[in-house]
Amino acid sequence: MATNTQIPVADRRVPVIAPGYTFTTITEKVSNIVLKRPLSLGWIFGFLIVFGMLNMLAGVLGYLFLKGVGIWGINIPIGWGFAIINFVWWIGIGHAGTLISAILALLRQTWRNSINRFAEAMTLFAVMCAGTFPLAHMGRPWLFYWMFPYPNTMRYWPNFRSPLVWDVFAVSTYFTISLVFWFVGLIPDLATMRDRAENPFVRRIYALLAMGWRGSARHWHRYETAYLLLAGLATPLVLSVHTVVSFDFAVGIVPGWHTTIFPPYFVAGAIYSGFAMVLCLAIPIRVIYRLQDFITERHLEISAKVMLATGLIVAYGYGMEAFMGWYSGNQFDSFLLWNRFHGPYRFWYLALLACNILIPQVLWLKKFRVSTGWLWLISFIVLVGMWLERFIIIVVSLSRDFLTSSWGMYYPTKWDWMTFAGTFGLFLTGMWLFMRLLPSISIFELRTLLPEAHVHEAEEVKQ
Amino acid sequence: MSDFSTNGPVYGLMAEFDSAQELVAAAHKTHAEGYRKMDAYSPFPIEGLAEAIGFHKNRVSLVVLIGGLIGLITAYSLQYWVAVITYPTNIGGRPYHSWPSFIIVTFELTILFGGISSAVGMLALNGLPMPYHPVFNVAEFAKATENKFFLVVESSDPQYDAARTRSFLSSLAPRMVAEVPS
């Protein structure tokens, strides 16, 4: 074990976990957020706000069910409007959680261990927000089950050649697998909570959820296989979800939608906005709950780099769209390009270019990657930019298609805005409760980051 | 906990260790001594620990493979049956069996069934949920989910002998050896 004292050159960066921690102090630090930390006025005040927003969502959806989608700004030609913009945006946010938990697990990026839990929770709540919109957009949402194939008295079956049916399967599978993955990851930590909780009622609840986990070597062996396989299954899944979402557009013939670049460009955009949301949440959370030792500068810097890289892929996507508009020689495609820069929505298109391409370039400088204030601001700008991207793709293409006689403009109503704001209530209420009810960092995976967790370390160094 | 006064049936003997290294070494020695009905408990997965107690292969991957294949077959045959046999519709002049369109749902259900079977299969093979287990009777075991490492030799092992096994476990330099009431 003498090799432990020599730090390899590559590891002289900010560590992923601050030095000086032991199994006990890690466990205490994370579990005490739930078990010991008193309710602060700030938490209650914030909760009242986000819970109020959630109630606003319930209210506007109730009014929507009563009156129908006519209260929204949608019209013909723009039949999709906010509902689909927000659906695509929210589901993209979720992608970072799965990327962190599954893809980085397969790549053995152990730094992910301290951010995967809350990123997965973020995924779940984001997918819930996303799912709200197509349901609400249906017109008769109480008949949502017609989307699923089941024997019925209408003797009707879904059309499996339709991307909208693919979407139903992709999004419901995504939510289910994200939930399963998250819960499987939680089981050992729920056992820790069970063994540390002093309140008998709380203890009973964690005991029920932990299902009698006792950390047996045989159990861990199967657990690790199952977790690895889940990561292996979730990896192609997360890449497929936004691909299928992009098929909703790419299979259509509308100018600006009918392109083969959509799937990779959508997936990159999803990860881009998802990491922006991870940073927007992680930066305040690590300060409020004093988790700077576990969510270190290194995590923020790596996330910033991922954002920069995916942002460049998105920029390439914009470039290719413009290039194909010119190179195809198709008059509708070249008109779309002209329309984006000179049409009625030009201000929003230029704002999109600024938010998504221009401003994030400052992340090339280390100063901005390690400054939490700047990083938070840039992440927020990216979130706005990615929302504008969805807006431009949907509204600009639909507002001016092939026939000038069918052109129109889209103006969201207050109900559109309130529904969008309401989903933030759903998302943040979920995060608010999650932070205080479940261990927000994977305790057992943090333990494996400590050098004393590695029995074979000496041999590995030799190899 | 460490006296012989317990009268009821005994599940086994439990030794507590301070580190992962000690536990793996102790597990190796106990297995080499000929004990087979034993288990090790740790607050995080330890590489090589399952192998040390003689547990080399698990069947979770087989369960996932079967689950995934069931998902694949279910999805494709459902779509084929709907689109070709029971509800054929002409969509843009495509053939009824337009298989490229069926790949997405097939892919999604393969993942869905495979993923669920990996979680359910892991829990079922582990015998979870299991609300009661004798090891929880030892008060010190609460630390098994925090920072302590345990080795249990079960009384059902043919070599088990209360006194001899206890002295063997004590020779491994544990923090304590305790009887686990059944």
Domain boundary among B125, B153, B171: B125
On whether the CB atoms of residues B119 and A184 are closer than 8 A, the answer is yes
Q: Which residue in chain B is spatially nearest to A221 when comparing CA positions?
A: B50
Domain coverage including residue B156? 10-43+144-181
> C-alpha angle with apex A137: A131 to A143, nearest 5 degrees?
85
On whether the CB atoms of residues B32 and B10 are closer than 8 A, the answer is no
Nearest-Cα distance to chain A for B6, in Å, is 23
Q: Is B115 an interface residue toward A (CB < 8 Å)? A: yes
On whether both B76 and B111 belong to a single domain, the answer is yes
Q: Measured between CB atoms, which of B39, B46, B82 is closest to A149?
A: B82
Indicate yes or no: CB of A233 within 8 angstroms of CB of B147: no
Nearest-Cα distance to chain A for B137, in Å, is 12
Structural domain contains residue B136: no
What is the residue type of A261? I
Predicted pLDDT of residue B6:
52
Structural domain contains residue B25: yes
On whether the CB atoms of residues A76 and A408 are closer than 8 A, the answer is yes
Per-residue pLDDT of chain B (182 residues), as tens digits, is 444 555 678 888 899 998 888 899 899 888 888 888 889 999 999 888 888 888 888 899 999 999 999 999 999 999 999 999 999 988 888 899 999 999 999 999 999 999 999 999 999 999 889 888 998 888 888 888 888 899 998 888 888 888 888 888 888 888 888 888 88
Q: Measured between CB atoms, which of A169, A191, A194 is closest to B108?
A: A169
Q: Measured between CB atoms, which of B68, B108, B115 is closest to A180?
A: B115
Tell me the three state secondary structure of residue A184. Answer: helix
Angle, in degrees to the nearest 10, between helices A81-98 and A163-196: 50
Q: Which of B118, B130, B153 to mutate to test the interface with A (most CBs of A within 10 A)?
A: B118
Backbone angles phi, psi at B38, to 5 degrees: -150, 165
On whether both B28 and B79 belong to a single domain, the answer is no
Looking up residue B154, the CATH number of its domain turns out to be 3.30.70
Q: Look up residue A203 and give its two tokens.
A: 């203890």
Length of chain A: 463
Which B residues in the span 152-181 are in contact with A, Cβ-Cβ below 8 Å? none
Q: How far apart are CA B100 and CA A85, in angstroms?
A: 27
Predicted pLDDT of residue A13:
65
Q: Which residues of A touch B42 (CB under 8 A)?
A: 215, 217, 220
Burial A168-188 (b: 16+ CB within 10 A, else e): bbbbbbbbebbbbbbebbbbb
Per-residue pLDDT of chain A (463 residues), as tens digits, is 344 444 444 555 677 788 888 888 888 888 888 888 888 898 999 999 999 999 999 999 999 999 999 999 999 899 899 999 999 999 999 988 888 888 888 888 888 888 889 899 999 999 999 999 999 998 888 999 998 999 999 888 999 999 999 999 999 999 999 999 999 999 999 999 999 888 999 999 999 999 999 989 999 999 999 999 999 999 999 999 999 999 999 998 888 898 889 999 999 999 999 999 999 999 999 998 888 888 888 889 989 999 999 999 999 999 998 898 889 888 998 899 999 999 999 999 999 999 999 999 999 998 899 889 999 999 999 999 999 999 999 999 999 989 999 999 999 999 999 999 999 999 999 999 999 999 989 889 888 888 888 876 444 443 3
On whether both B115 and B160 belong to a single domain, the answer is no
Q: Which residues of A touch B55 (CB under 8 A)?
A: 217-218, 221
Nearest-Cα distance to chain A for B8, in Å, is 23
Q: How far apart are CA A426 and CA A21, in angstroms?
A: 35
Structural domain contains residue B84: yes
Q: Specify the number of domains making up chain A.
A: 1
Q: Which of B65, B103, B126 to mutate to test the interface with A (most CBs of A within 10 A)?
A: B126
Q: Is A234 an interface residue toward B (CB < 8 Å)? A: yes
Classify residue A288 by burial, with Cβ atoms within 10 Å: 0-12, 13-18, 19+.
middle
Which A residues in the span 398-417 are in contact with B, Cβ-Cβ below 8 Å? none
What is the residue type of A212? G
Predicted pLDDT of residue A456:
65
Looking up residue A268, the CATH number of its domain turns out to be 1.20.1630.10
Structural domain contains residue B103: yes
Q: Specify the number of domains making up chain B.
A: 2
Predicted pLDDT of residue B177:
86
On whether both B37 and B91 belong to a single domain, the answer is no
Q: Please state the pTM of the whole predicted model.
A: 0.90
Predicted pLDDT of residue A363:
93
Structural domain contains residue B167: yes
Domain coverage including residue A407? 2-462
Predicted pLDDT of residue A98:
87
On whether both B107 and B154 belong to a single domain, the answer is no
Q: Is A125 an interface residue toward B (CB < 8 Å)? A: no
What is the residue type of A363? L
Q: How far apart are CA B1 and CA A261, in angstroms?
A: 67
Structural domain contains residue B137: no
